[in-house]
C-alpha cells in the first residue's frame, strides 16, 4: 500500500480517538444494559452479511448502530459501530490489521459525527421517558442518518481513491456507493423501530427486536440462494458454449475478466459491472446453434458460413431473452459485434447508438480474440494486439474505450486481471 494511504489511515484514526474522547466527556452513557445488547446484535449482524447480485455485501449493521446512537447518545453509537467493525470474514481473509483499524476509525467518526448532528439539532436520547411523545426528534434523526451516510461514503471513498489512483467520483460510481441511499434509508427506519422496541417496558423490546432481524435474514438468504442458482445456470451455459469450439475454451471467462476490469477503470457503477460480467460470460451463447465444423474451420469461410456465424448474436439474444433474470443483458449480447463506424452486425448500429456495455465488451472481446490461437491463425503478441486495437479505435471500436483499455494494459493491469481470474 502507498505511504500516502498509511498517512490517511493515521489521520482517520487520530480523528476518531479525538472525537471519541470529546464525546465520552460530553455525552456519557446511562443505559449500559440495552447498549450491550445492541453491541452483541451488531457483532452478529456484521458477521452474517450477505453478498447479493448488483448490490454487493449487505448487512443490517447500520440499523443497529443508528438505534444505539438514538437510544444511548453519540457515545453509544461509537461503541456499537466500532464493536462491529472487525469480522470473522476479515480474519479469515488475512486482511492487514491496518485495514481493520481504519474501518473502526471511519465507523467511529461516522457514528460520532452523526450523533453530534442529532444532539446539535436538539435531539435527545430516546431512552429518556416522554421523548417519543414530545415529537422533537424526527428532524434531528433524519439529519443524523444523512450525516452518517455522507461521512461514511467520503471516508471510505477517499481511501479507495488513494489506493487505486483513480478519481474520487469514479470510485464512488464503480463501488456503487451512491446507489446505497435507498437501502440506507430503509435501514435507518429499521433502526428507529429498534430504538422504539427498546423503549418498551422491561426486556420485551429486546425479545421483539429479534423477530424482524430473523425475517430480514431469511429474506436475504433466499435471495442469495436464488442468485447462486442463477450463477450456476450461467456457468453451465458457458460450459456448453465452449464444448462446441475447443479453440475458444476459456474465452468467455477471459472476456468477462477483461470487460469488468475495463468497466472498473472507466468508473462504471457496481450494478453495471455485474451486468457486464454476466453478459460477457454469455456473449457467444448463440454459437450453440452453429455447426462445429463451421466454427472451427481452418479454411476461408463461404458466404453462407459467414452469414451463419454472424447470426450468433441474434441467436444468443433470443436464447437469453426468455430468461427473466438475464433480460437486462439481451442488448449487450445482440450488439457486441456492432462496429463504431456502423459497418458491424447484426443491425448496423453506429457510435453511441450501440449500447455502452456492448461497446465496452467489444474491446475486451477483440483483445482476447487477437491474443488467442484460432484454427485459421496463431495468436498475436500482447504488443501486436495493442497496436491493432489502437489502429481500429474510432472505426471498429469506441475510440475512448479502446485507448483506455490499451492505457490500462500498458500499466500492467491486465496481469492483475488474469491473476484474479
Per-residue HEC secondary structure of 364-393 comes to HHHHHHHCCCECCECCCCHHHHHHHHHHCE
Per residue in 114-141, pLDDT tens? 999 999 999 888 888 877 777 678 899 9
Which band of pLDDT confidence, cut at 50, 70 and 90, is reported for residue 304?
confident
User: What is the rounded radius of gyration, in angstroms, for the C-alpha atoms of the chain?
Assistant: 26
Which band of pLDDT confidence, cut at 50, 70 and 90, is reported for residue 413?
very low
Average pLDDT over residues 180-207: 75
Per-residue pLDDT for 410 more than 70?
A: yes
pLDDT on residue 420: 37
Average pLDDT over residues 13-40: 92
Per residue in 152-163, pLDDT tens? 989 988 988 887
pLDDT on residue 292: 60
Q: Which of 46-55, 65-74, 153-162, 297-306 has the lowest mean pLDDT?
A: 46-55
The alpha carbon torsion through 227, 232, 235, 241 (nearest 10 deg) reads: -120
**Integer Cα distance of 12 and 374 in angstroms:** 53
Per-residue pLDDT for 96 more than 80?
A: no
Which band of pLDDT confidence, cut at 50, 70 and 90, is reported for residue 94?
low
Per residue in 386-405, pLDDT tens? 999 999 999 999 999 999 99
Does residue 21 or residue 294 have the better pLDDT? 21
pLDDT on residue 400: 92
pLDDT on residue 208: 65
**Integer Cα distance of 256 and 88 in angstroms:** 30
Domains plus CATH for the chain? 3-224 (1.10.1760.20), 245-420 (1.10.3210.10)
**Integer Cα distance of 176 and 265 in angstroms:** 14
User: Quick one: cell of 405?
Assistant: 483499455
Percentage with pLDDT > 90 across the chain? 37
**Integer Cα distance of 363 and 369 in angstroms:** 10
Per-residue pLDDT for 376 more than 70?
A: no
Per-residue pLDDT for 221 more than 90?
A: no
Which band of pLDDT confidence, cut at 50, 70 and 90, is reported for residue 260?
very high
Which band of pLDDT confidence, cut at 50, 70 and 90, is reported for residue 416?
very low
Percentage with pLDDT > 70 across the chain? 75
Q: Apex CA 287: angle with CA 283 and CA 291, to 5°?
A: 170
Per-residue pLDDT for 48 more than 80?
A: no
Amino acid at each position: 500500500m502507498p505511504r500516502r494511504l498509511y498517512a490517511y489511515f493515521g489521520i482517520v484514526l487520530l480523528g476518531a480517538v479525538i472525537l471519541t474522547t470529546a464525546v465520552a466527556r460530553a455525552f456519557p452513557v446511562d443505559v449500559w444494559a440495552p447498549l450491550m445488547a445492541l453491541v452483541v446484535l451488531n457483532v452478529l449482524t456484521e458477521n452474517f452479511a450477505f453478498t447479493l447480485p448488483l448490490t454487493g455485501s449487505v448487512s443490517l449493521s447500520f440499523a443497529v448502530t443508528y438505534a444505539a446512537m438514538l437510544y444511548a447518545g453519540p457515545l453509544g453509537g461509537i461503541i456499537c459501530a466500532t464493536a462491529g467493525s472487525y469480522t470473522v470474514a476479515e480474519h479469515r481473509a488475512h486482511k492487514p490489521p491496518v485495514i481493520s483499524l481504519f474501518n473502526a476509525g471511519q465507523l467511529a467518526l461516522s457514528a460520532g459525527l452523526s450523533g453530534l448532528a442529532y444532539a446539535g439539532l436538539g435531539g435527545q436520547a430516546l431512552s429518556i421517558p416522554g421523548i417519543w411523545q414530545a415529537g422533537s426528534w424526527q428532524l434531528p434523526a433524519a439529519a443524523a442518518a444523512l450525516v452518517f451516510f455522507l461521512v461514511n461514503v467520503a471516508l471510505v471513498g477517499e481511501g479507495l481513491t488513494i489506493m487505486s489512483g483513480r478519481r474520487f467520483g469514479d470510485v464512488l460510481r464503480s463501488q456503487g456507493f451512491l446507489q446505497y441511499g435507498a437501502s440506507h434509508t430503509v435501514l435507518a427506519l429499521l433502526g428507529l423501530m429498534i430504538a422504539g422496541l427498546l423503549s418498551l417496558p422491561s426486556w420485551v423490546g429486546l425479545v421483539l427486536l429479534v423477530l424482524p432481524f430473523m425475517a430480514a435474514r431469511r429474506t436475504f438468504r433466499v435471495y442469495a440462494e436464488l442468485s447462486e442458482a442463477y450463477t450456476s445456470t450461467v456457468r453451465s451455459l458457458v460450459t456448453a458454449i465452449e464444448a462446441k469450439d475447443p479453440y475458444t475454451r476459456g474465452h468467455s471467462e477471459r472476456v468477462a475478466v477483461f470487460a469488468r476490469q475495463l468497466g472498473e477503470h472507466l468508473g462504471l457503477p457496481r450494478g453495471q459491472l455485474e451486468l457486464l460480467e454476466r453478459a460477457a460470460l454469455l456473449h457467444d451463447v448463440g454459437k450453440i446453434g452453429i455447426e462445429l465444423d463451421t466454427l472451427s474451420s481452418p479454411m476461408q469461410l463461404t458466404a453462407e458460413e459467414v452469414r451463419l456465424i454472424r447470426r450468433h448474436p441474434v441467436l444468443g439474444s433470443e436464447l437469453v431473452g426468455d430468461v427473466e433474470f438475464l433480460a437486462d443483458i439481451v442488448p449487450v449480447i445482440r450488439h457486441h459485434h456492432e462496429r463504431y463506424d456502423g459497418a458491424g452486425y447484426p443491425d448496423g448500429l453506429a457510435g453511441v447508438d450501440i449500447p455502452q456495455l456492448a461497446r465496452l465488451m467489444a474491446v475486451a472481446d477483440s483483445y482476447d480474440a487477437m491474443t488467442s490461437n484460432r484454427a485459421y491463425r496463431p495468436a498475436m503478441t500482447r504488443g501486436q494486439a495493442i497496436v491493432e486495437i489502437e489502429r481500429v479505435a474510432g472505426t471498429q471500436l469506441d475510440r475512448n474505450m479502446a485507448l483506455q483499455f490499451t492505457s490500462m494494459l500498458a500499466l500492467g493491469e491486465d496481469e492483475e486481471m488474469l491473476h484474479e481470474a
